[in-house]
Amino acid sequence: DSYISGNNNLLQTLIGHSSGSGSGIPLLVQRTIAKQIRIERQIGEGRFGKVCLANWRGEHVAVKIFTTINDQSWLRETEIYQTVLLRHDNILGFIAADLKVSAGGAQMMLITEYHKRGSLHDFLKENTIDTAQLVVMARSIASGIAHLHEPINGTHGKPCIAHRDIKSRNILVKTDGECCIADFALAVRYDSRRNEIDIAPNSRVGTRRYMAPEVVNDTIDVTSFSAFKAADMYSASLVFWELCRRSRQNWPVGGSPMLQADEYMLPYANLVGSDPSLEDMHLVLIIQGARPDIPMRWKCDNRLRVISELIQECWHQNANVRLPALRVMKTLRKLEDSETLENIGIHHV
């Protein structure tokens, strides 16, 4: 299959030797991890399978189960998680990939660390946050994306990676209040020294609601890897906007200050339906040039004001002027540090 290059070796390593039947379906060998996993309950549902809470050697883990071998996403996600130096506090921790063969057929599994607070989307629906938590969450998301996007050059370096499906459902909330990036089935890697992308990228992938305008109208220049990073930053800006809406702010209601947050809302929920088509997004993003509303009140709080400025720079129509993740992360880190100093009574002059 020319769409994904170099994954046959991985398939062989993971599931054993080819059956030689000519069917192209390898002989499935059940490995030990899959046998040791005890599934407890389902915690998530996706297009190609489900995510379960499981017990492995006495510890809670999350198991993503893919149900069709024809789908490349298990292979692709496993391949991305095995990228050298991918590990980071703000990237979902990978444990193993394995197969389970049962009477019903084969199951491909991806085993990762379990985060009991679940996805950022589900978290924000149920919870509001204070502005200090807002900065921590936004900075941690920017850190995760910056780690993906930036190369690490060295003898065993890390390639640049673009996620291509950044959204609040693909971000998990950790117990320490930071977030981590998950769901790498659509990611692409770029070797800057060889100037090579590791798969032939299909240009219009991802979740339509979060697609950058240049992805929606298919004008993205796929020959330049920075275009994929800029598209991720657009999607990230919508996630930051979701976070800002749920942050509590002192705001005068009828004369007296009250802690206020907006209702949870998906980006563009006021302009498109629950499953927008590319045509719907084209109308909103290209014809109308619309973006989610930035309420006046955000300008009256230092943290919300800084983040709304970053948001507007990241959802710019012109992909070339959007801020890189590293820049966003540094700005948010400064905001986080300065406010921390203030809390302990130190004022920087």
Binding residue (CB under 6 A) for ligand ADP from 31, 100, 115, 189: 115
Smaller CB separation from ligand ADP, 206 or 213? 206
Contacts with ligand ADP by CB under 6 A: the residue count is: 22
Residue nearest to ligand ADP (CB): 46
Q: Does 185 bind Mg ion (CB under 5 A)?
A: yes
Binding residue (CB under 6 A) for ligand ADP from 40, 56, 118, 313: 118
Task: Provide, rounded to whole angstroms, the least separation between the CB of residue 144 and Mg ion.
Answer: 15
Task: Provide, rounded to whole angstroms, the least separation between the CB of residue 122 and ligand ADP.
Answer: 6
Task: Provide, rounded to whole angstroms, the least separation between the CB of residue 111 and ligand ADP.
Answer: 9
Residue 260's contacts (CB-CB under 8 Å, 6 or more residues apart) are: 248, 249, 250, 251, 253, 297
Stretch touching ligand ADP by CB under 6 A, among 106-114, 138-146, 301-309, 341-349: 106-114
Q: How far apart are CA 49 and CA 31, in angstroms?
A: 20
Binding residue (CB under 6 A) for ligand ADP from 7, 83, 107, 112: 112
For the chain, first and last CA: distance in Å? 60
Smaller CB separation from ligand ADP, 74 or 298? 74
Q: Does 119 bind ligand ADP (CB under 6 A)?
A: yes
**Binding letters toward Mg ion, positions 156-175, x by CB under 5 A:** --------------x-----
User: Residue 190, SS3?
Assistant: strand
Q: Give the DSSP per-residue string, 94-141.
A: EEEEEEEEETTEEEEEEEEE--TT-BHHHHHHH--B-HHHHHHHHHHH
Task: Provide, rounded to whole angstroms, the least separation between the CB of residue 173 and Mg ion.
Answer: 14
Determine phi and psi for 199, rounding to 5 degrees: -135, 160
Active site residues: 165
Smaller CB separation from Mg ion, 185 or 310? 185
Where are any strands of DSSP class E within the chain? 38-45, 49-56, 59-66, 94-102, 105-113, 160-162, 171-173, 179-181, 188-191, 196-197, 249-253, 256-260
Residue 51's contacts (CB-CB under 8 Å, 6 or more residues apart) are: 42, 43, 44, 45, 62, 63, 64, 65
Q: Does 239 bind Mg ion (CB under 5 A)?
A: no
The one-character DSSP state at 297 is G
From the list Mg ion, ligand ADP, none, partner contacted by residue 93 (C-beta under 5 to 8 A by kind): none
From the number of C-beta atoms within 10 Å of its C-beta (0-12, 13-18, 19+), residue 103 rates as exposed
Check if the beta carbon of residue 151 is closer than 8 Å to that of residue 85.
Answer: no
Stretch touching ligand ADP by CB under 6 A, among 94-102, 107-115, 200-208, 295-303: 107-115
Compute the chain's Rg from CA coordinates. Answer: 21
Binding residue (CB under 6 A) for ligand ADP from 34, 37, 62, 91: 62
Binding residue (CB under 5 A) for Mg ion from 183, 232, 242, 301: 183
Stretch touching ligand ADP by CB under 6 A, among 111-119, 241-249, 250-258, 334-342: 111-119
From the list Mg ion, ligand ADP, none, partner contacted by residue 148 (C-beta under 5 to 8 A by kind): none
Distances in Å between the alpha carbon of 35 and those of 9, 102, 347?
23, 11, 56
Distances in Å between the alpha carbon of 182 and those of 88, 110, 121, 207?
12, 12, 13, 14
Positions in 160-219 near ligand ADP (CB under 6 A): 169-170, 172, 182-183, 185
Handedness of CA 158, 164, 266, 325 (dihedral sign): positive
What would the two tokens of residue 227 be?
């275009």
Stretch touching ligand ADP by CB under 6 A, among 45-53, 99-107, 243-251, 314-322: 45-53
Q: Does 235 bind ligand ADP (CB under 6 A)?
A: no
Determine phi and psi for 96, rounding to 5 degrees: -165, 165
For residue 189, give the amino acid letter.
R
Q: Which residues bind Mg ion (CB under 5 A)?
A: 170, 183, 185
Residues that bind ligand ADP (CB under 6 A): 43-44, 46-48, 51, 62, 64, 92, 112-115, 118-119, 122, 169-170, 172, 182-183, 185
